[in-house]
Structure 1
Amino acid sequence: MEVDDTLHFREVHGYTRAFRMMGDGPPLLLIHGLSDSSATWAPVLPLLAEHHLVIAPDLLGHGASDKPRADYAVAAYACGMRDLLAVLDIDRVTVVGHSLGGGIAMQFAYQFPERCERLVLVGSAGVGREVHPLLRLASSPLAEPGLAFLTAPPVRSAVRALAPLLRVGLRLGRDFDYVLDRYRCLTSPTARKAFLRTLRAGVDMNGQVITMLDRCYLTVGMPTLILWGAQDHVIPVEHAFTAHRAMPGSELEIFETSGHFPHQDEPERFAKTIESFISATAPQEFDPARWRAILRQGRPRSPEVSSGT
């Protein structure tokens, strides 16, 4: 097995894209969440790479990738994933998306169904309005100067000192430490601007403003796994059941003791669940005629979809 979990770099559209690559076998694309990076997958990368070529990019505006003034909507990110895969000579993948990355994964499957063999959504964005109040607050017009203040060295020191109180007050449960680490990554102005542009593309003061529910019916025939931590305090686990009902034939796996990051909380179980799902399902074979017929038929009407975000 080829093993290489160091960062690689490719230029796409004039911007440097960082990514990790490990293993050999059927390709598996891992897409991280907001204010995160490919490093989030470190506990599961070597496990998944035992049977797969695993590609874990740093999204544009995140990690070691460039952070330009650019389009940070999920559709643009999906195009970025397609283009990076093209540069790497990879045509089709099983896509695993966490949080924001789940929304990107769903958008990738929608925009490029011929490239998507299977879909795995982990604590995914885009299912309902509910999201942690900190993210709603960060979408406000005053968030930019507020974040600049909160990430200044004296304030960061105070946050460290007040961590025990914040742990209780912010009600993030077991996700607190990792979320706090993500906050510490926003010290540079470019990182903060990329974070806010990405956040505001999908969240406002009332919660999430985009939804995948109106297009979930298009996953008919797409092997789909929905995986969620029951102790998720960032995006509530109820969204897992909503997505499962809206995605015909999908499988649902709840990690009872995990929070928003089940790939870190229970990496061995996470990798085994992904591997079992892949082994038990055949990759989707895209049929354009069937796709057009499903589109013409349209999505089923349901209270959940019509009253979405």
Structure 2
Amino acid sequence: MAGTVRRRSRGFIPLAIFCALYILFLYGPVITIFVLSFQGPEGGLTFPMRGLSLHWYHELFKGLGVVDIGAAIRRSLALGVVVMLLTTLFSLMAGLAFRKGFKGGGVLFYTAVASLIMPSIIISLGIGLQFRLFDDVIKTMLTHLAWTETLESYTTLMGLYTSGLGAHLTWTLPFGMLIMFAVFNRFNPAYEEAARDQGATPWQTLRHVVLPLIGPSLVGVGMFGFTLSWDEIARSSQAIGDVNTLPLELQGLTTTVTTPSIYALGSSTTVVSLLVIFAALGAAALMRRRAGAQA
């Protein structure tokens, strides 16, 4: 006898329509920009499409006015990789530390998470002001020491890997920490006890037992770190120094570039983010498969 057909509830169709509209609302602008980036040479910033070509991608690689897009991309990629590595490392260390529990851990946790609550522009302004105070202190010291040449050549401590890196970490670290706390909260300590019973040292237990088991989660933390840094604008605006990351350059170009080349740039940056996400998902799946094979 054939199995009974499960009837859908009355609310299925309205919920399905709402879900479809919600997905369209989220990804519709991205799809629109992607489609318009393939306008022909006579195309504009709106529909209808006037031809279909890669013309605006060629124009993008030639450069957009005085802005060096290639340099901005290299800066954002390099900063994103550094943020990814530091976020993964510090989140892992925080997760291991909070497993043991220590005095003041609650205050430290809420202090770290507080940066998610505060407006991003306020954090950016605060970091920029802090580094300007550092600059004043250094200039005062150089003046008292009469190091005239050093004082004349000194500019600022603010930069891509100082204030800019710190601003990005205030955004990525809380996410990484929350992920690792959730991972270790459901981590079975029996695996570690079994390793210690076999004579493994704490370092060997961490390297050969803990890290392989939480490896996919670490990949996810790294993915969050890179993608959040790659797209960050508000926290970079006042704390990046005299250079701009790609999102800041893109924000400035929206007021000056009036051709679909701006859409080509936006589509290219989106593709980079998607590649990172797919690479992270692939790495996590591979690590799970290896862990399952070893088990």
Query: What range is the shorter-chain TM-score in?
Result: under 0.3
Q: Is the strand fraction higher in 1 or 2?
A: 1
Based on CA coordinates, which of the two structures has the bigger radius of gyration? Answer: 2
- TM-score norm. by structure 1 comes to 0.26
- TM-score norm. by structure 2 comes to 0.27
* Structure with bigger RCO (C-alpha 8 Å, 6+ apart): 2
